[in-house]
Structure 1
Amino acid sequence: MSGRYKYFAIFGSMRSGSNLLEQSLNQYADITCHGELFNPLFIGHPKSTDFLGLDFVERERSPESLIKAMIKDAEGGIAGFRVFHDHDQRTAQMALRDPKCAKIILQRDVLQSFISLAIARKTDQWLLHDAPDRRGGKIVFDPLEFIEYRAKQEAHYEDIRNILQKGGQTAFWVRYPEQRDVAILNGIAKFLGRDEVLKTNKETIRRQNPGSLTDKVENYDEMQAALSRWSEDDIIPQGSFDPLRRANIPKMVSCISQPILFAPVPGGPNEEILRWMNALDVGTALGANCSHAVSNGDILHTGHNQRTLFEWMEANPDIATLTAISHPLTRAYQAFMTKIFLTGDGTYAVIREQLIDYFGVALPDLEMMDGATRQSLGDDGYGVGQHRAAFHGFLRFLKVNLSGQTSIRKDGLWDSQMAFLSGFNTAVPISIIVKEGQMDAGFKYIESILDLPAPILGPPIKPDHMFALDEVYSRQTENLARKAYKMDYGRFGFNDYQAALEA
């Protein structure tokens, strides 16, 4: 029996059981699953750097070439791969829209997968073949982290469903417990056009975290209390399929004693806004790192869901809702300097390596960056000119990345600010947009309409980078930024960077 499909893709997520499903399907003589062919860290399986002679560079240049090679290599059988939301989305979209690709959609209870993922990260155990090797451990349930995780999971699967429905396609949907049923496995094989029938399912992968949730969660009672407070609509924003265009209500910040609600854009001038809001609340300004204090619950209020936000709005009818945006060039440079140029904890090490390997961005190597100073980098031949070239390479990458033409994710720190504003407005109309460089005027305006006294603020917080943007800026820098951020420049009316400084 041969089917209408040339290949297949398993759409799942981390800790959804996709390793087990791959192992189960590979028991069939004519079915081969090649793992995570489009994982940014490897090709197929951990430590693998090529597939049928195709390496990372070729995969980045032409992801479809791996699929064509895989189909040819199947020789009468059918082959496929697993794909998650953080894999190359060019390939995911290609497979979803290709009627010759059989789609298998694997889902797991979102709370179970969240806890399983947290335990795997804590124990660094991602796969278990022998029970004696199991690494136990309990995790602390973080309600805000769970809300974000669930929203992303739901968006991932809703996006899949939406594309399939609009394309008139069907898929084989399977839930985590069902894949252990040999009858369902045989159903998948039949869906893939195979005649072979398994009598038993020989599992070689063990469940890593058996037992009840009380055995896995330290603050189990707190978790239950949090879950009981939420309805489905509290957790899952409805009617949106793009995670970046969500309202992201849990990240919104409100004053405790004043009717002010702030929707932060990642990478924006958020510290200045939070410092001002806290000063209005308590009368004195906090120093740097207000974001950390907000996350810890020390100042202001965050972590709203739809219900608590609307309750707050009803209690504060005359509110000022605001967001803050940066000049596209300063925001891109901030992301470049803090996440790409630097190395170590909190930086984007994998993306940094991909920029060097795939896009020719000439950054200092890890040895040069170990304890680096401007003087030491200069001694090694990396000065302002080299740094300008590296940043220009990053801006060229942003142009294709934001157009969806790379395997690398569109990170929130450099994605379009207009996208976030559109998301905010789906939940709460934003009445005031404050531009970086016009903070004082924005603060005075809000204070006047709410009849609030101006708080005493310290000097503005300025970035302290090893290389200042003013040093590397050129006409070419501006042109590259405008090509990458055409929408933000146009919709928000930004002038050139130097003109903005002089205004």
Structure 2
Amino acid sequence: MSDPRTFDSFVIFAEMRTGSNFLEENLNSVPGLHCYGEVFNPHFVGHKDQRAMLGVTQEQRDADPARLLAAMRRDGAALPGFRYFHDHDPRVLDRVLDDRRCAKIVLTRNPAESYVSRKIAGETGQWRLTDMKHSRSARVRFDAAEFGAFLDSIQGFQLRLLRGLQIRGQTAFYIGYEDIAELDVLNGLLAFLGVEARLDAVSAKLKKQNPEPLSEKVTNFDEMEQALAGLDLFELSRTPNFEPRRGPAVTSYVAAPDSALLFLPIRGGPVGQVEAWLGALDGKAMDEVRRDFTQKSLRQWKRRHPGHRCFTVVSHPLVRAHRAFCTHILPTGGACFPQIRETLRQTYGLPLPVGDPGPGYDAGAHRAAFLAFLRFLKGHLGGQTALRVDASWASQSSILAGMAQVVMPDMVLRAERLGPELAFLAAGIGLPAPELAQADPDGPVPLADIYDQEIEAAARDAYQRDYLAFGYRAWCG
């Protein structure tokens, strides 16, 4: 498994609330790798309330840390390892740094996020989360003096670690909190460790807790900003992004039959309308538009169409969420996602009818079901469920980021002004714009019949990044 010329053990240098449990969970799913936890935590051995490991008691470990290091190597794993925090047994640090055959992994996180997350966990008593339905939340108060002491201890340890590696001529594999759910990054770590095996998927057991921005988790956020004035490395106003990073989805791209227009669809938007418009632009039917691109055929299309224009269409997040709900969740046939629908009913308590909506399904029932879906999306897009994030309700900003890996749209149109903006696009290539077909109704109850400020607030909570990225205000109907 491991190249004998490189490493025969590893250590993860991390801190509380940096995602080290999640990283350990993924490494332990690889044959031949085993991370034994916080084996040199002064309060336990490996994991909370554990007092012995591999035949070595806590007292024996405290008397001679090398005894437990040797026991891990004898235990049978091809590559044993452990997690080490700044307040763990200091006698171990130099011993590990001196060992060139011990791979060093450095896991880091924004210290302000770690500090707040730690305080929330202390307030709620929840240090691990396996499903959003068990999630507990709290708002905490920022203490400048407490944070200063916390930051000093973390930074002091990081500087000591950095210098220790430098003077020994070693390097570490650095990984950030928001990268630990990236399959390619984790497999890169396995390559660094000299392990041949690769992960096929990231573990779905542990979920991210409290994915909201700091402003929603701290009661005195203004004081926090003042205390940290000038320390913009903390990116306090950033909305954390825990959605899976998306690929470019080249096969979904659509080109006009003849004209030099390329449409990059965002599912959940007015895709059918735009495809029909593209066909009509060249006097042809929708089924004559060009589809099924590969990256190679896309490059060929671009070369054959100099002066081409690439565009996409974004929708108001609330409208798009309602369309996705009415298309994929509410009905039981057609484009419904039946397994997701049933999980939402049974596990997350969405008040969906057992079958298709019947005569008794009125505006009140629709509002309750859709509001529950929006509240589910907040945690779902924050990485707190095991369900896949479908492109129909993924954030539009993440979809655009995926597109940018291959092609950057030079125009981002708005669904609410789609007719005039498509006409402007057609004029840019010297063609008259065909009439835009009317959109089909989304579902049995129009959004306007259930809209209120509670619905708007739930949508904004779920799609903060899209509201911010595209400047959307409250929906006007």
Q: What TM-score do you get using the length of structure 2 for normalisation?
A: 0.52
Inter-CA distance 260–173: structure 2 relative to 1 (3 Å threshold) = same
Which residue of the other structure, out of 399, 403, 422, is the alignment partner of 2:401?
Answer: 422
Cα deviation, residue 268, structure 1 = 1.3
Alignment of 1:3-42 (within 5 A): 8-9=28-29
Cα deviation, residue 246, structure 1 = 2.0
Which residue of the other structure, out of 460, 470, 475, is the alignment partner of 2:448?
Answer: 470
Which residue of the other structure, out of 321, 343, 363, is the alignment partner of 2:332?
Answer: 343
Secondary structure of 2:400's partner? helix
Which residue of the other structure, out of 338, 359, 368, is the alignment partner of 1:389?
Answer: 368
Alignment of 1:317 with 2:337, yes or no, is no
Which residue of the other structure, out of 468, 482, 492, is the alignment partner of 2:460?
Answer: 482
Please tell me whether the aligned partners of residues 335 and 413 of structure 1 are also in contact (alpha carbons under 8 angstroms).
yes
User: Post-superposition, which runs of at least 4 consecutive aligned residues in structure 1 deviate over 3 A?
Assistant: 3-8, 57-63, 162-165, 168-172
Computed over aligned residues only, the root mean square deviation of the Cα atoms, in angstroms, reads: 3.4
Please tell me whether the aligned partners of residues 60 and 358 of structure 1 are also in contact (alpha carbons under 8 angstroms).
no
What per-residue deviation string (whole Å, max 9, x for no partner) do you get for residues 350-390 of structure 1?
22222223322111123xx3xx43x2xx2xxx422222111
Kindly provide the amino acid, as one letter, of the partner of residue 344 in structure 1: G
Count of aligned pairs: 277
Secondary structure of 2:416's partner? coil
Give the Cα–Cα distance (whole angstroms) in 1 for the partners of residues 131 and 459 of structure 2: 27
Cα deviation, residue 259, structure 1 = 0.6
What is the aligned partner in structure 2 of residue 261 from structure 1?
262
Secondary structure of 1:308's partner? helix
Which residue of the other structure, out of 431, 447, 450, is the alignment partner of 2:410?
Answer: 431
Q: What TM-score do you get using the length of structure 1 for normalisation?
A: 0.50
Please tell me whether the aligned partners of residues 251 and 291 of structure 2 are also in contact (alpha carbons under 8 angstroms).
yes
Secondary structure of 1:491's partner? helix
What is the aligned partner in structure 1 of residue 272 from structure 2?
271
Which residue of the other structure, out of 301, 325, 331, is the alignment partner of 2:290?
Answer: 301
What per-residue deviation string (whole Å, max 9, x for no partner) do you get for residues 57-104 of structure 1?
9866569xxxxxxxxxxxxxxxxxxxxxxxxxxxxx99x969xxxxxx
Kindly provide the amino acid, as one letter, of the partner of residue 197 in structure 2: W
Give the Cα–Cα distance (whole angstroms) in 2 for the partners of residues 469 and 331 of structure 1: 11
Inter-CA distance 345–278: structure 2 relative to 1 (3 Å threshold) = closer
Mark the runs of 5 or more structure 1 residues left unpaired by the alignment: 12-29, 32-56, 64-92, 99-154, 177-241, 294-298
Kindly provide the amino acid, as one letter, of the partner of residue 443 in structure 2: H
Give the Cα–Cα distance (whole angstroms) in 2 for the partners of residues 323 and 279 of structure 1: 18
Secondary structure of 2:402's partner? helix
What is the aligned partner in structure 1 of residue 342 from structure 2?
353
Cα deviation, residue 340, structure 1 = 1.0
Inter-CA distance 459–427: structure 2 relative to 1 (3 Å threshold) = closer
Give the Cα–Cα distance (whole angstroms) in 1 for the partners of residues 316 and 388 of structure 2: 22
Alignment of 1:409 with 2:409, yes or no, is no
Could you say which structure has the larger radius of gyration?
A: 2
Give the Cα–Cα distance (whole angstroms) in 2 for the partners of residues 278 and 392 of structure 1: 37
Please tell me whether the aligned partners of residues 339 and 348 of structure 1 are also in contact (alpha carbons under 8 angstroms).
yes
Please tell me whether the aligned partners of residues 255 and 261 of structure 1 are also in contact (alpha carbons under 8 angstroms).
yes
Alignment of 1:39-438 (within 5 A): 61=133, 158-164=184-190, 169=193, 171-173=195-197, 244-281=245-282, 283=283, 286=285, 290=286, 293=287, 299-366=288-355, 369=356, 372-373=357-358, 375=359, 378=360, 382-438=361-417
Mark the runs of 5 or more structure 2 residues left unpaired by the alignment: 1-8, 11-23, 32-75, 78-128, 136-175, 201-242
Give the Cα–Cα distance (whole angstroms) in 2 for the partners of residues 442 and 364 of structure 1: 39
